[in-house]
C-alpha cells in the first residue's frame, strides 16, 4: 500500500488551467497539490499561444496574477490578411466592442503563475506521473503518483481537477460512458516555427496561398512565431531553415509586400488542427478544465483563454463548496462553461475555413478556394462582418 498524503484538492497538470486554479484556491485558503509530469524547466520554456483576451486579462488582474503581463505584455489591435486579392488590415481594436488582445508568451505566463503559487505556499510536484485515480465517484477520491525518484505515493482529497490535456490521466480515468467526447479532425496540419528574428510586421498576418496557409505572429522584440500549412504526417526535421524561409517568402508574397526578417529556426513541430469537447465536464468528484475539457485548434488563439475562464469558474465553485458548504456551483459547472466553449469552437472552425483552402487544381479544390476568396472579400468590405469578427476574435 503506497504512502498516503492528504490535501483538499488534487490538481493534475501545471499548465495555465491548473496554475490559475491552484492560485485561486490558495488565495481562498484551500489546500491543494499540483502534480505535473514534466520538469519545471520544461514547463517554463514550453512555447504555446501568446494571445490573451480582455476577459482573461481582467480575471488574472482581479486575482493578483497579472503583474508580469501588465508590465511586459504588448497590446495588439490589428491583423492583416494577404492573398491574391492583395492585402487588407482590420483594426479590430476599433471595431465591435473596441477591445484589443494582449500578447504575452504562454511560457512567460506559466513562469509567473508558478512563482506566484509557490509564493502563496503552494505545493507543486514536478516530474511526477499520475499512474491511476481511484474513488472519483465517491467521497474520497485519490490519485496515485510516481515521483521523479521513482517514489510512489497516493494523494487523497475531496476533489480532483483534471487539467492535463486530452491525453492525460484525468480523461483516462473516466469510465466508459461517463462523458461524450465530441471530436472534429479538421484535416489541416501546421508546421509551427519559432524563429530568432524580430517581427517583420506590426500586425498579426494571415497569408492565404494556393500552396497553403502561412502565418506571422510577433512574440517578443527578437522572436517571431510562424506557421506553414503542410501535409499531415510531415516530418518537421525535413524542413531545413533554408526551406522554411523560401516557403515563407513565397506564401507571404514578399516580392509584393516586402522582405521578412530572417534568423535561425529555434523550434519546429507539427500541429494537427483537431477539436474536442467533453460533455459533461465532470464525473463524480473529478472535474475537467482547460484542454482536458475542451481541445481547440490554434487557428483563433482561444486555448489559453478557455483555460483561464474554466479555471476561474471551477475555482469559484470549489471555494463555495469547501468554504461555504454550497455545492450548487459544482453541480452547474458544465452548464456554466459549455456555452462559452462551444462559441469559441464555432469561431475557431470559421477561422479554419477562412484561412485554409484545399491545395491542388482539381475542380472541387478550385471551387472551394473561390468560396474562401469570397469570405475574405466579405470580411474586407462589410462592416457588419468586421464587427462580428472583432467581437469573436477578442473572445467576447
CB 354 within 8 A of CB 83: no
Among the listed residues 141, 298, 333, 356, the single catalytic one is 298
CA 180/CA 345 separation, integer angstroms: 16
CB 93 within 8 A of CB 78: yes
Task: Establish whether 339 is a catalytic residue.
Answer: no
Among the listed residues 104, 227, 283, 393, the single catalytic one is 393
What is the grid cell recorded at 343? 462559441
CB 291 within 8 A of CB 298: no
CB 90 within 8 A of CB 382: no
CA 27/CA 24 separation, integer angstroms: 5
CA 5/CA 93 separation, integer angstroms: 49
Task: Establish whether 298 is a catalytic residue.
Answer: yes
The phi, psi pair for 392, rounded to 5°, reads -85, -35
CA 72/CA 70 separation, integer angstroms: 6
Task: Establish whether 72 is a catalytic residue.
Answer: no
Among the listed residues 76, 209, 216, 349, the single catalytic one is 76
The phi, psi pair for 386, rounded to 5°, reads -65, -45
Task: Establish whether 54 is a catalytic residue.
Answer: no
DSSP 184: E
Residue 304's contacts (CB-CB under 8 Å, 6 or more residues apart) are: 16, 48, 49, 51, 52, 56, 106, 109
Among the listed residues 302, 333, 349, 356, the single catalytic one is 302
Task: Establish whether 302 is a catalytic residue.
Answer: yes
Classify the phi-psi angles of 296: left when phi > 0, otherwise alpha if psi is within -120 to 50, otherwise beta: beta
CB 8 within 8 A of CB 322: yes
| β partners of residue 225 | 194, 217
What secondary structure does DSSP assign to 204-240, as a single string? EEEE--TT--EEEEE-SSS-EEEEEEE-TT--GGGS-
Among the listed residues 92, 104, 159, 206, the single catalytic one is 206
CA 214/CA 193 separation, integer angstroms: 11
* Ranges assigned E (strand) in 291-355: 294-295
Catalytic residues: 76, 206, 298, 302, 393
Amino acid at each position: 500500500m503506497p504512502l498516503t498524503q492528504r490535501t483538499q484538492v488534487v490538481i493534475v497538470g501545471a499548465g495555465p488551467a491548473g496554475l490559475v486554479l491552484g492560485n485561486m484556491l490558495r488565495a481562498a485558503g484551500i489546500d491543494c497539490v499540483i502534480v505535473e509530469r514534466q520538469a519545471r524547466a520544461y514547463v517554463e520554456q514550453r512555447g504555446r499561444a501568446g494571445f490573451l483576451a480582455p476577459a482573461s486579462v481582467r480575471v488574472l488582474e482581479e486575482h493578483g496574477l497579472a503583474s508580469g503581463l501588465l508590465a511586459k505584455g504588448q497590446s495588439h489591435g490589428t491583423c492583416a490578411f494577404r492573398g491574391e486579392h492583395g492585402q487588407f488590415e482590420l483594426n479590430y481594436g476599433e471595431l465591435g466592442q473596441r477591445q484589443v488582445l494582449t500578447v504575452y508568451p504562454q511560457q512567460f505566463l506559466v513562469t509567473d503563475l508558478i512563482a506566484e503559487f509557490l509564493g502563496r505556499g503552494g505545493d507543486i510536484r514536478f516530474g511526477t506521473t499520475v499512474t491511476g485515480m481511484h474513488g472519483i465517484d465517491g467521497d474520497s477520491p485519490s490519485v496515485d503518483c510516481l515521483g521523479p525518484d521513482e517514489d510512489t505515493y497516493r494523494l487523497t482529497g475531496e476533489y480532483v481537477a483534471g487539467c492535463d490535456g486530452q491525453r492525460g490521466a484525468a480523461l483516462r480515468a473516466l469510465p466508459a460512458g461517463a462523458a461524450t467526447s465530441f471530436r472534429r479532425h479538421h484535416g489541416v496540419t501546421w508546421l509551427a516555427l519559432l524563429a530568432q528574428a524580430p517581427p517583420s510586421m506590426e500586425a498579426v498576418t494571415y497569408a492565404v496561398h494556393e500552396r497553403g496557409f502561412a502565418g506571422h505572429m510577433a512574440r517578443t522584440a527578437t522572436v517571431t512565431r510562424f506557421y506553414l500549412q503542410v501535409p499531415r504526417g510531415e516530418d518537421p526535421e525535413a524542413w531545413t531553415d533554408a526551406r522554411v524561409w523560401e516557403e515563407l517568402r513565397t506564401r507571404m508574397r514578399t516580392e509584393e509586400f516586402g522582405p521578412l526578417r530572417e534568423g535561425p529556426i529555434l523550434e519546429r513541430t507539427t500541429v494537427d488542427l483537431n477539436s474536442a469537447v467533453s460533455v459533461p465536464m465532470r464525473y463524480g468528484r473529478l472535474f475537467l478544465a482547460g484542454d482536458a475539457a475542451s481541445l481547440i485548434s490554434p487557428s483563433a488563439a482561444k486555448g489559453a483563454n478557455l483555460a483561464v475562464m474554466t479555471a476561474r469558474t471551477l475555482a469559484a465553485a470549489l471555494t463555495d463548496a469547501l468554504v461555504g458548504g454550497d455545492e450548487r456551483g459544482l453541480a452547474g459547472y458544465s452548464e456554466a462553461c459549455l456555452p462559452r466553449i462551444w462559441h469559441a469552437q464555432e469561431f475557431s472552425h470559421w477561422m479554419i475555413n477562412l484561412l485554409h483552402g484545399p491545395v491542388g487544381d482539381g475542380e472541387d479544390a478550385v471551387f472551394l478556394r473561390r468560396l474562401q476568396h469570397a469570405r475574405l472579400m466579405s470580411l474586407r468590405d462589410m462592416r457588419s462582418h468586421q464587427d462580428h469578427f472583432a467581437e469573436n476574435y477578442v473572445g467576447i
